[in-house]
Amino acid sequence: MARGMLGMVSVVVAAVMLTGCATTISGQAKPAARDRDKIIVFNPCRGDLTDDALRSAGLDPASMHITTDAPTGVASWRICNWRPIDVRQHGSAKLVVGLFSTSYTLYELRKKEGATVLRETKVNRRQGLVSKELSDPQSCYVSFDAEQGMFEVNASWLSDEGTRIGEACEIAQHFAEALEPHLPK
C-alpha cells in the first residue's frame, strides 16, 4: 500500500512539476535563452549518485523509487525518491526525500504557477529557494542553482498516519545540504 501511495504521490508531483515550469511571464527580464533539447541533466537514479553518497547524506539506497528517468540522452527531469536511513528520527509517519534533477531554473521556479516561493536560501554555497506546491501543501522543496538548471530536494510524508517529527522545509534543507556536495555544479 505504501509503495503504491509513493508511486501515486511521485507521479502527481512529477506531473505538477512538468506542467508548471513552462509558464511565461511578460514584461520581466529573462535570463539568456537555453535550448532544453541539448541539455542532458544529471541522473540521480542510475549511478550518477553513488550508494555511498546517499548513505553519507542519510538516505537508504535500497529504498529508491524512480518517478521519472529517461534511460539516456536529453531529459528535462530525472526524479528519484528515498527513505531516510534513520526513519525514527522523523517520527512514525513515512517520510520520503526526493531529488529532482532538471534543466529548469530558479528564475522559472519564481514564475511558476502553482508554486509559492517562501524565501531565498543558501544550500551550502549555492543560491536557492524554499517553495511549496499548492497541490501538495504538506511537502516542501529546497531548490538550488546548477549549470544544467537546478536541483530540487523535496521532503514529504506519504500519509497522515503516525507522528511527524520536524517541519518539511527544515528536513528538505537538511537533505539538500547533505546531497549538494555530491551533485555537479
Digitized pLDDT (tens) for each residue of the chain, 185 residues in all: 444 444 434 433 443 344 344 333 333 345 566 777 788 899 999 878 999 999 999 999 999 999 888 777 788 899 999 999 986 777 666 899 999 999 999 999 999 999 999 999 999 999 999 999 999 888 999 999 999 999 999 999 887 777 777 899 999 999 999 999 999 99
What pLDDT shows up at residue 74?
A: 82
The secondary structure of the chain as a DSSP string is -HHHHHHHHHHHHHHHHHHHTT---TTS--PPP--GGG-B---TTTTSS-HHHHHHHTB-GGG-EEEE--SSS-BSEEEEEE-BSSGGGG-SS-EEEEEEEES--HHHHHH-TTEEEEEEEEETTEEEEEEEETTEEEEEEEEEEETTEEEEEEEEES-S-S---S-HHHHHHHHHHHHGGGS--
Q: Is residue 115 part of a domain?
A: yes
Strand order in the sheet with 65-68: 65-68, 77-82, 95-102, 149-157, 136-146, 126-133, 115-123
Q: Is residue 28 part of a domain?
A: no
What pLDDT shows up at residue 165?
A: 77
Q: Is residue 128 part of a domain?
A: yes
What pLDDT shows up at residue 44?
A: 92
Q: Is residue 35 part of a domain?
A: no
Q: Structurally, how many domains does the chain consist of? A: 1
Q: Is residue 166 part of a domain?
A: yes
What pLDDT shows up at residue 157?
A: 84
What pLDDT shows up at residue 163?
A: 76
Q: Is residue 76 part of a domain?
A: yes
Tell me which residue range forms the domain holding 147.
2-19+41-182
Q: Is residue 30 part of a domain?
A: no
What pLDDT shows up at residue 30?
A: 55
Q: Is residue 29 part of a domain?
A: no
